Structure formats: structure tokens, C-alpha cells
Structure 1
């Protein structure tokens, strides 16, 4: 019971501080003290210490002796971490986050589909095809929770089936994207028939080992996604990350 309670308090502290940093309520440069956070959140020092450790690992804060816990600017955050993605999707930066993720997916998923058509084991090809057929049924029935579950499974299998471990490690980011779009009302109640067919086209091309068609079908999905979502982010500024330049040798 104590372990469960401690985990719950730790999770609450991470969520509270993480969302406030990402939404700008705690701006870059803001300094917090551990004792102030203890009073504010009504938790122990150990809970604050663990929460800060998580936030440090995400690049949201840094701690300095005799100064405190300083909030870092957005370009220091880990943009690939699912927690950061979820918090950004929940705030005013939702459009920019969706744009970044859509552009990432458009660069990666068609290549992953092409690789899966060449490399995926037979059982994964069959599972992907089964999921695409189930997606079509759930989509036509308007079963949004079931469709979301299957959509995440489909794109996870696609990335994993590529045989590229770096692609496969984007599964969490894609899952947060699809979940966030659904939670925040950015998905239609019933997916378009054409979109459902394109997912099936990807699965059938991978199942049959047709690499070029798998890539093209996946590209069609991502082009449609970007076209539909563009109004959400058209006014959102981009984040330009300062380059870490190497010192010039003498």
C-alpha cells in the first residue's frame, strides 16, 4: 500500500510540474525550491526528488546547488519522449506538436512500410493484414475506442516490421499522437472509406512483398493526414534548436 501511494504521489508531482512547464505556466528560467514544492503539492522531499529526477531526464529542468530547480527552454526538452508529447498535445502548442509528429511520420513510415514488405516475418505480415481488416470494420461501425486501439497496433506493427530498431522505438510517439488526436477531438467519428482502404493497401502490399506499393500507400495516408491537419497548425511557430557548434581547432 505504501509503495502504491508513493508511486501515485510521484506520478501526480511529475504530471503537475510537467504540464505547467510545457504549457508555459512555469516559464524558462523560473527557479523552484524543493521545500516550496513540498508545501505546494503536500508531498515528501523524497517524492519531489524523484519527480525532479524524471523531469531532468526529459530535459525540462536542471538543478543547481544553492540555487534550486531551474526550468529549461523548449529546445532543451526531449521531443521524442511520450510524456513531453502528451503534455504538448494538451496545451496551446498542440498544433506545432502535431505538425512535428506528422512530418516525422511522413519521413519514416513510408520507408518502414517498404522495409517491412522486404523484411517482416510472415506472422507479422498476417497480423498486420488482420488488424487492417479489423480497422475497416471498427471504422465503418463508428467504434472510436476500438478503432484507436487497432490504429495504434497497425502503425506499431508497421514500424516494428521494418526490422529497423530505431524505427521501432518510435512506437510510443506514434501512439501518443494517435491518442492525442482522438482525445482532443481532431479525428472524425467515422474514418473515411478511402483512408481505411489505404491502410488495407499498405497491409496487402507488405503481405505480398510489394515494397514500392507499400511505400506509396503509406505515403498516401501521410499526405492525407498532413492535408487534413494543416489548419490546426498553420499559425503555430516552429522551434529552431540552436546548434551545438564544435570549437575551432587551433
Structure 2
């Protein structure tokens, strides 16, 4: 029977069920943090012995890492850790692992710049293209954000915040924007998990979320874009202040 001797710290949440998921939660963060550096060659046999798992479990974990571009497996060579330039930097797990390591400030700044480029444009498109159902859901989420912000319930607030931003991206009617929902969810989750959010969400930021919802419902693209830009630039300013 397979066992597992790793010391997983939970940074691989969402990495999968079972032993290969737990192995992935060890190897992924180690590669992302540079503990296992680019160019390092791992051997199937060594991983089997070190983690007390079968060849099948190792292969399953390596297959996932290969899909992320983090390793390349070659017969008679081994499993070679790839340079960061080869990684799928949009993969939510890669983002999560990088946020858990020393690369956190650079990762947050990079993701913040991405959000600033995409989300205001998505909000403007949503004002023109959102369905009636999407407008109703966005309004309801704005109300939930206000209520949970006042209560200081960051866990519930996070869930509503993720749903709000995903819905704006989806309501843009642009499938490329919509596909970034998981990326935005990963950065919002990472900021909360690593205590980079205020203990109580800022009233100004909550008000801007309500303004986005109102503008989308009113079909006011310019106002929706402006309010969303205020949200993402405000988040970057908060981040810079926290990172010092």
C-alpha cells in the first residue's frame, strides 16, 4: 500500500485528491519557490523512495506538472525542472504556489497589472452585453458584499468578491476575459490567505463594487469602467502599502 512521507503545508490546496495530489502539493511549491531549482533533474526512483509512493503515483503528479510546463520528462534523462519562462503562469495552482513563496511580491504586482488591463475593459463591455439575469446577480452580489463587509466576515466576503469579479468577466461576453476568472479568484484568495487584506474591507472599495453593479445595470459603460479601474488601482495601492 502506498504511504506518504511528505510534510505538506497545505499550499497545494486544490491540487487534487489522493496520494498524487499530496505529492503534487509537495513538488509544486518546492519548484515554484526555487527550493528545487530550474535545471534540476529528478528521478522517478528517488521520488518513489523519498515519498513512499508507487511509480504510478509519481507519474500522475509529474503528468500534471508537465501540463503546467514546470517539468519535462524524458526517457533515460529523468524529470527536468523547467525555467520559469516555460511555466503556465495563468494556471491557478502555479499562481497559488508562487504566492506562497518568496516570489509573492512580484507575482502580486504582475497579477495586479493584468487585472488593471483587463477588468475595467470587461466592466465596460458588461454594461453593454450583460443579460438581465447577470445584471440581477451582480446587483445581488453587490448587496452581499456590503453586508459581509460591515460584519467583517472576510471568508464570506472573499466568496462574494470572487463571484462578483468572475461574473463581470463572464458578462463581458468575451470568452478570453471570462477565462481569466480563475486567475482573479487565485489572486483574491492569495491576498486573503496571506493576510494582505485589511481586517475590514475598505468602505470605499465596497462602494465602488456597488457602483460597478449600478453602472452595468444602467448600461453605462464609461461609469462601469471607471469604477472598476478604481477598484483594481486601489487594490494595488493597498498592496504596495502592505508590502512596504
Q: Does 1:190 align with 2:200?
A: yes
Helix, strand or coil for the counterpart of 2:90?
A: coil
Aligned-pair CA distance for 1:7: 4.1
Q: Which residue, out of 109, 124, 145, partners 1:114?
A: 124
Helix, strand or coil for the counterpart of 1:63?
A: strand
Q: Does 1:158 align with 2:168?
A: yes
Q: Does 1:98 align with 2:79?
A: no
Runs of 4+ aligned structure 1 residues displaced above 6 Å come to none
Partner of 2:79: 69
Q: TM-score, normalised by structure 1?
A: 0.89
CA RMSD of aligned residues (A): 1.4
Q: Could you list the runs of 5+ residues in structure 1 that have no partner in the other structure?
A: 235-250
Q: Which residue, out of 39, 52, 63, partners 1:53?
A: 63
Q: TM-score, normalised by structure 2?
A: 0.92
Alpha carbons 1:119, 1:163 under 8 Å: kept: yes
Partner of 1:207: 217
In 1, Cα distance between the equivalents of 2:83 and 2:25?
A: 18
Q: Could you list the runs of 5+ residues in structure 2 that have no partner in the other structure?
A: 3-15
Q: Does 1:140 align with 2:150?
A: yes
Q: How many residues align?
A: 230
Aligned-pair CA distance for 1:231: 4.3
Partner of 1:40: 50
In 2, Cα distance between the equivalents of 1:228 and 1:172?
A: 22
Aligned-pair CA distance for 1:230: 2.0
- Which one scores higher on RCO, CA 8 angstroms, separation ≥ 6? 1
